[in-house]
A and B are shown apart, each in its own frame.
Chain A
Amino acid sequence: DAGITQSPRHKVTETGTPVTLRCHQTENHRYMYWYRQDPGHGLRLIHYSYGVKDTDKGEVSDGYSVSRSKTEDFLLTLESATSSQTSVYFCAIAGQGVEAFFGQGTRLTVV
Chain B
Amino acid sequence: GESVGLHLPTLSVQEGDNSIINCAYSNSASDYFIWYKQESGKGPQFIIDIRSNMDKRQGQRVTVLLNKTVKHLSLQIAATQPGDSAVYFCAENILPKDDKLIFGTGTRLQVFP
Contact = CB atoms under 8 A, between A and B. Distances in A.
A36 to B, nearest CB: 11
Contact of B96 (A33, A40, A90, A97): A97
B46 A101 contact: yes
Interface stretch (A43-51, A64-72, A78-86): A43-51
Contact of B99 (A50, A90, A101): A50
Determine chain B's interface SS by DSSP, over half rule: strand
Contact of B45 (A96, A102, A105): A102
Interface in A3-23: none
A39 to B, nearest CB: 10
B25 interface: no
A31 B99 contact: yes
Contacts of A58: 100
Given A42-B104, A97-B96, 4 more contacts: A35-B103, A42-B89, A43-B89, A59-B102
Interface of A: 1, 31, 33, 35, 40-45, 48, 50, 56, 58-59, 90, 92, 94, 96-105
